Structure 1
Amino acid sequence: MFLGSFTLFMLAIGLLAPIFVFVVECGLAVVKPAEKKPNPEKTQRPTLAILIPAHNEALVIGDTLAALLPQLTPKDEIVVIADNCTDNTVAIAANRGVQVLERTDDTRRGKGYALDYGMQYLNKNPPEVVIILDADCKVSANTITEIACKVKKTQRPVQATYLMEQSLNPTAKDTISRLALLIKNFVRPLGLASLGLPCLLTGSGMGFPWTVLAQVSLAGNKTADDMQLTVDLALAGFCPIYCHQARVIGRLMENQAAISQRKRWEHGHLEMILTHSWVLFKQAFVQRRLDLLALALELFVPPLSLLVLFWLTVSLAGLGVAMVENIWIPLWILGIEGLLIVSAVLLAWAKFGRDHISAKNLLAIPMYIFWKIPIYLGFILKPQTQWLTTERDEPLS
């Protein structure tokens, strides 16, 4: 009996670290005013190239390029890497007047290999800055200049705000999914930036100094290629920083495609926690680097739904122990943790999400969390360890 109580107590204490990090990030984003928008003209715009890996993106690549081209100067270059495409991606991109590289390899497939192919092409005449965008993204006005100038000024990797567009008739679950991405990709990085701390790369809207990106290998097909790149660059001395003024809008998939998309994201995150968070913690102390410690803590926070599920499971066990053994300390700790999580989510929604997400939609949060259970069970039974392209639905009009 004592062993059970002690185990619950240790689990409750163990949950404090990721919950504390999550709550502090959200709290800082809410109470700290965003920095004033800088004037990019104060930093001379560097020469840049935009790499766009694309696998069968004929439905969206034309719109992506149409929104992107007006932001470029004659010195800029767009390189679309058509990776193992079997549709009209190549023709559509070529008709927009951009450089198109065709790549066919049945064994080495995935975003990382496509980006590595693009880097080999750029190596002939390297730009000062490389920006990586997904083929289905809408780039907000002035975003390219914001990213490029911040990269040049800091000589560090830069991550733009990467949010998701919603379908025309979203379900409550879709809306909560959008809120989860808003907290992960905007609120939490904003909180970190308020302290001058680094953030994780999120896959699209990423800018790099050429001299920095050329030091790491992009080739590979890991599910969490963006997190892997974050770790590689951080260990090399170049922790990414957040640029909230720049904004890139991707698209959440629907139905079965949404499950596949989420599975790739969350299995990749869990894999990185198990395999790389300890590396960052170790090097943070060896190198005495606060930025590595902050990044390790950020990576260590699991997906919010999983964090809540784990907290709920331990809390139910704690309730049973409290009723049987009359030991209430673990349950009191867990109760405070639950209150902190709920408060952080509600504050983030009230500050940044209430204009797009109604209070009524928040009632769907439990349904959304339980919808994710098969994804987490899948990580235990059959984890996804390679980057796989999600089949695309029809684009939004």
Structure 2
Amino acid sequence: MKTINTINSILYIALTVLYFYQFIYIVIALIGDKKKKLDTYEAKKLHKFAFIIAARNEQAVIGNLINSIKQQNYPAELIDVIVVADNCTDDTAQIAREHGAICYERFNNMLVGKGYALDYCFNKIVEQFGDYTAYDGYFIFDADNVIDKNYVKEMNKVFDRGYNVITSYRNSKNYDTNWITSGYSLWFIREAKYLNNPRMMLKTSCAVSGTGFLVNSSIIKKNNGWKFNLLTEDIQFSVVNILEGEKIGYCESAMFYDEQPTTFKQSWNQRMRWSKGFYQVMFRYGRELIAMMFKKREMFVSCYDMFMTLAPATLLSIGCILLNLIFLAYGATDVHMLRRILPGTLGSIAFAGVNFYLLMFSIGFITLVTEWNKILAPANKKIKSLFTFPLFMITYVPISLVALVKKVEWKPIAHSISKSVEEIELQQQANK
């Protein structure tokens, strides 16, 4: 009994110590100066950008994204939209061209995934314009996204300050659909507000998350295109840039909206890919991150932060539960022993579950309260999402476990939420 309690206590303490810095991030974000220098900085130059959109059968949503780009409060002649219609069997390419985008069509069933589509697109840009540096920077977006009218203007401010990679505030078009979409949305909003925001305030490196980021053309040229093709090419891109000494920036005032999966099957497949991709990145770059922590003191925080982002904390929790179940199974062979260890073992499992629920509830509560007016959902659905958010996060437990042993391949997620920037603005006004 004493041994079980000791092991459980060590595991809980270890997890708390390892991730305590993220609680410090929350405090920094809450008490930080609201009038940040980046918010008042005026760019000395209006840079030329291209939006790169990798799209596979996205005819339902691609038009709204292109329209939102065309309506930017930024000189139109300094923005191009380039779509790579990747293995499309619908009218994505035609619709993209009708909305004023340059469109390249790619057909390759062997090299499947967003990373390969992006690399193909950059190669076509070199063919057409002569060099990657035809643009100062490239925005990387998914076809289901929609951007705020001041998005480029705000991102240009941070870009002009010298950041070569910049991520932005990730919001959601369909927060209010169900517990799955609200779970995704609340996590991404928390990631922007309470991870990337304090990182930027502390001048450490932020991390790119899927979509909605800007890359200096010099980085694309250095890499001779896009060479990140693991299942989570975004986190791979972040890790490589951090190891190479880049500080990824964050622009809180640049907001975009994306669509979350609406069914558990879609969510399971997507998060299975993410979990497997995180393992891939950890196995490939984990040692380098640890080595760089101690090799360059100024990179310690960024490398430690990224290592803990990749670290399978969920597996440690699973391990703790399995350990208690093993003790329980062992005790079942002896009635007297079972009576001794049963209360402590079941208590430890229950404690782990309740502790996780309360932790996620607290994170969700802080995020929901501070970002209330930015969330596109009725008040009752926002409140309801606070209670279902921990349940959504608990579903990562079986996903993380299965991803260890299952072969995972990239699968497209169907998008159908057609929402214009004007409709989003009306929802925002209704929230105020």
* 2:201 alignment partner AA: S
State the 1:138 CA deviation.
Answer: 0.4
Q: Distance in 2 between matches of 1:30 and 1:336?
A: 26
**Structure 1 CA distance, aligned partners of 2:236 and 2:22?**
21
Matches within 5 A, 1:79-228: 79-123=82-126, 124-125=130-131, 126=133, 127-166=135-174, 170-216=177-223, 218-228=226-236
SS at match of 2:71: helix
- 1:1-397 pair list within 5 angstroms: 4=4, 7-36=7-36, 38-39=39-40, 41-71=42-72, 72-123=75-126, 124-125=130-131, 126=133, 127-166=135-174, 170-216=177-223, 218-255=226-263, 256-290=265-299, 292-301=300-309, 306=314, 310=318, 313=321, 324=341, 343-353=362-372, 356=377, 358-384=382-408, 386-393=409-416, 395=418
2:425 equivalent in structure 1? none
Identity of aligned residues (%): 21
Contact 1:227 1:269 in 2 (8 A): yes
- For the 8 Å contact 1:204–1:248, the answer to whether it is kept is no
Question: Counterparts of 2:205 and 2:168 in 1: how far apart (Å)?
Answer: 13
Q: Deviations over 1:95-125 (max 9, x none)?
A: 1222111111121121111111222233314
**Contact kept? 1:144, 1:246, Cα under 8 Å:** yes
Q: What is the deviation of 1:382?
A: 0.6
Cα distance in 2, alignment partners of residues 246 and 304 from structure 1: 30
Which sits farther off after the overlay, 225-234 or 185-194? 185-194
Partner amino acid, structure 1, of 2:412: T
Letter aligned with residue 83 of structure 2: V
TM-score by length of 2: 0.78
CA–CA distance in structure 2, aligned partners of residues 303 and 237 of structure 1:
21
- How far apart, in 2, do the equivalents of 1:243 and 1:287 lie? 26
Alignment CA distance shift 1:180-1:310 (3 Å): farther
User: What amino acid sits opposite 2:88 in the alignment?
Assistant: C
Distance 1:141 1:129 in 2: 18
Task: Give the secondary structure class of the aligned counterpart of 1:243.
Answer: strand
> Do the aligned residues in 1 keep the contact of 2:204 with 2:301 (CA within 8 Å)?
no
CA distance in 2, matches of 1:336, 1:60: 40
Structure 2: 5+ residue stretches without partners: 329-337, 421-432
Higher relative contact order structure (alpha carbons within 8 Å, sequence separation ≥ 6): 1
Question: In structure 2, do the counterparts of structure 1 residues 263 and 122 end up closer, same or farther at CA, with 3 Å as the change threshold?
Answer: same
Helix, strand or coil at the partner of 2:83:
strand
- Over the aligned positions, Cα root-mean-square deviation in angstroms equals 3.6
- Consecutive unaligned residues of structure 1, counting only runs of 5 or more, are none
- Is contact 1:18-1:302 (8 Å) kept? no
The separation in 2 between residues aligned to 1:113 and 1:350, in whole angstroms, is 40
AA of the residue aligned to 2:114: K
Using the TM superposition, give the Cα deviation of residue 38 of structure 1 relative to its aligned residue in structure 2, in angstroms: 2.9
The Cα of 1:341 is off from its aligned counterpart by: 6.0
Name the count of aligned residue pairs.
Answer: 391
Q: Distance in 2 between matches of 1:109 and 1:53?
A: 12
More divergent stretch after superposition (152-161 vs 264-273): 264-273
Counterpart AA for 2:367? A
Query: CA, structure 1 residues 326+260, in 2 after alignment: closer, same or farther (shift >3 Å)?
Result: closer
Give the secondary structure class of the aligned counterpart of 2:103: strand
Is the 1:94–1:100 contact (alpha carbons within 8 Å) kept by the matching residues of 2?
yes
Contact 2:85-2:105 at 8 Å conserved across structures: yes
Q: Can you list the C-alpha shifts for 1:257-299, whole angstroms capped at 9, x where unaligned?
A: 2332333333323443444333212112113333x53243244
Q: Deviation digits for residues 180-223 of structure 1, max 9, x if unmatched?
A: 22212332211222212211101212112111232235235322
- SS of 1:301's equivalent in the other structure is helix
TM-score, scaled to structure 1: 0.84
- For 2:23, the aligned partner's letter is V
Q: Distance in 2 between matches of 1:100 and 1:40?
A: 35
The structural deviation recorded for 1:87 is 1.0
Is residue 15–residue 313 contact of structure 2 (8 Å, CA) maintained in 1?
Answer: no
> In the aligned structure 1, how far is the partner of 2:250 from the partner of 2:76?
24
**Higher mean C-alpha deviation, range 232-241 or range 87-96:** 232-241
Alpha-carbon deviations, 1:56-93, whole Å to 9, x = none?
Answer: 11111111101111225213322111111111111111
Contact map agreement 1:18 1:301 (CA 8 A) in 2? no
Cα offset for 1:334? 7.8
Seen in structure 2, the aligned counterparts of structure 1 residues 98 and 334 have a Cα distance that, compared at 3 Å, is closer
Structure 1 residue 312: deviation in Å? 7.9
